[in-house]
């Protein structure tokens, strides 16, 4: 008698509210004298900018494509 094993596989992709995949750009090549590397606090991707000021990447500076979510409501019928 043989055993039947089941396995699931896949890749999870997480997107920010601006519909950009998170943590996709983790390496950049650039000239240190002209640009500085920044980490976008929305999509967590690296991007290049001349300024030292913290900022979002060019994609995340636009209007959000998805509404910001809040805490999930309690399921109906749950006694706390």
Counting the structural domains of the chain, the total is 1
pLDDT of residue 60: 92
Does the residue 40 lie in any domain? yes
For residues 28 and 42, the model is more confident at 42
Question: Is the pTM above the cut of 0.75?
Answer: no
Mean pLDDT of all residues in 53-74: 79
Residue 76 belongs to a domain: no
Residue 78 lies in a domain: no
pLDDT score, position 32: 66
CB 64, CB 18: distance < 8 Å: yes
The domain in which residue 35 lies consists of 13-60
């Amino acid at each position: 008698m043989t055993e039947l094993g089941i396995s699931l596989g896949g890749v999870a992709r997480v997107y920010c509210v601006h519909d950009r995949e998170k943590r996709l750009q983790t390496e950049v090549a650039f000239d240190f004298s002209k640009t500085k590397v920044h980490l976008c606090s929305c999509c967590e991707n690296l991007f290049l900018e001349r300024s030292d000021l913290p900022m979002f990447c060019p994609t995340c500076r636009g209007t959000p494509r998805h509404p910001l979510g809040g805490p999930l409501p309690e399921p109906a019928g749950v006694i706390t």
